[in-house]
Amino acid sequence: MHIEKVWALYYSATGTTELAARTVAGEMAARLGVPLEAIPFTLPAQREKTYTFCKTDLVVAATPVYAGKIPNKILPDFQTKLAGNGAVAVPIVLFGNRSYDNGLAELCAVLKNSGFLLAGAGAFVARHAFTDELGTGRPDENDQAEMRAFADKIADKAAALQAAPAPMQVPGDPDAPYYVPKGMDGLPAKFLKAKPKTDPAACTACGLCARVCPMGSIDPGDFSLVSGVCIKCQACVRGCPQKAKYFDDPAFLSHVEMLKTHFRDAKKNEIFL
């Protein structure tokens, strides 16, 4: 297939998925000798338009998994705002050292349903959004080297294709339910309604938290108010330069402790060609 452009499209609340998408797509573009263009798909305004591709495009579509699937409030945008028209796509997911569960299978299904041809897929370990103690420092240099090697294989495969690539199998069920978070007691941890708090002594009212919220839920007139849905992405917590944002919900904190207790062993990246 004749590839004329590589695209890096990513939902990335805390930056690690953007890093992975740009690493993979950048290596592909360099390998093929074609331009690279990025499409941030994180903020509400960025997800308003429909992105239309064509048969000469190679699209890296990336998202973190939340509870083992595409974030449920972001999923409708992945389903309705991407038009493949026969473009080659490479779905990749990032997971915080627990499991990507059914997230990669779901992303593959979404892209196929939107008219993309899949040439490969990958699931890569990242620092967990909830804590630095899981997936610490990842994707690290070794992970990024794996990403680049993966990208080279996909670029060569895409360039050599004379017809649609053969169907590709990845683990998981795209229709499976979300993973149910558990607390330290082993019971379901119910923190759906939990929202970030603000330390008034630390907050300087810079407004960054409101600007980075993927749901547009932080009140720009009062940054301590979360008037809309919170998806626990941690964009405001990790983005605040004063560390004024935090979660204190007991069920949420218990779940974080459970993750730190049971999922410390370093997981491996997985690729599919």
Query: 160: exposed, middle or buried (C-beta count within 10 Å: 0-12, 13-18, 19+)?
Result: exposed
Residue 162's pLDDT is what? 85
Kindly state whether residues 60 and 152 are assigned to the same domain.
yes
Q: How far is CA 75 from CA 41, 63, 148, 172, in A?
A: 11, 10, 27, 17
Kindly state whether residues 201 and 135 are assigned to the same domain.
no
103, HSE (Cβ side, Cα atoms, 13 Å): 28
Residue 143: inside a domain, yes or no? Answer: yes
* pLDDT mean over 208-230: 97
Amino acid at 3: I
Residue 163's pLDDT is what? 84
Q: How confident is the model at residue 172 (pLDDT cuts 50, 70, 90)?
A: very high
- Sequence-distant contacts of 174-178: CB under 8 A, at least 24 apart: 174/102, 174/105, 174/106, 174/108, 174/109, 174/110, 176/69, 176/101, 176/102, 178/66, 178/67, 178/68, 178/69, 178/72
* pLDDT mean over 242-254: 98
Q: Is the dihedral of CA 127, 273, 92, 190 positive or negative?
A: negative
Kindly state whether residues 135 and 242 are assigned to the same domain.
no
Kindly state whether residues 156 and 217 are assigned to the same domain.
no
Helix 16-32, helix 141-160: angle, nearest 10: 40
Kindly state whether residues 146 and 220 are assigned to the same domain.
no
Residue 166's pLDDT is what? 84
Pick the range with the lowest mean pLDDT from 150-154, 167-171, 213-217. Answer: 167-171
DSSP assignment of 200-231 equals: TTT-----HHHHH-TT--B-TT-TT-B-S---
Kindly state whether residues 129 and 238 are assigned to the same domain.
no
Copy the structure tokens of residue 230.
């919170």
Percent of residues, the chain, with pLDDT higher than 70: 100
Work out how many domains the chain is built from and give that number. 2
* pLDDT mean over 262-270: 97
Q: Note the pLDDT tens digit of each residue in 120-154.
A: 999 999 999 999 999 999 999 999 999 999 999 99
Residue 186: inside a domain, yes or no? Answer: no
Residue 44's pLDDT is what? 98
Enumerate the β-bridge partners of residue 124. Answer: 94
Instruction: Indicate which CATH number applies to the domain containing 213.
Output: 3.30.70.20
Is residue 161's pLDDT more than 90?
Answer: no
Enumerate the β-bridge partners of residue 265. Answer: none
Q: Is the dihedral of CA 11, 64, 148, 120 positive or negative?
A: negative
- What domain range includes position 49? 5-177+266-272
User: Which of helix, strand or coil describes residue 141?
Assistant: helix
Kindly state whether residues 61 and 92 are assigned to the same domain.
yes
Residue 46: inside a domain, yes or no? Answer: yes
Kindly state whether residues 150 and 235 are assigned to the same domain.
no
Kindly state whether residues 169 and 201 are assigned to the same domain.
no
Residue 191: inside a domain, yes or no? Answer: no
* pLDDT mean over 102-126: 98
Enumerate the β-bridge partners of residue 123. Answer: 93, 270
Is residue 52's pLDDT more than 90?
Answer: yes
Kindly state whether residues 41 and 127 are assigned to the same domain.
yes
User: Which of helix, strand or coil describes residue 90?
Assistant: strand
Residue 244: inside a domain, yes or no? Answer: yes
Kindly state whether residues 76 and 122 are assigned to the same domain.
yes
Kindly state whether residues 151 and 225 are assigned to the same domain.
no
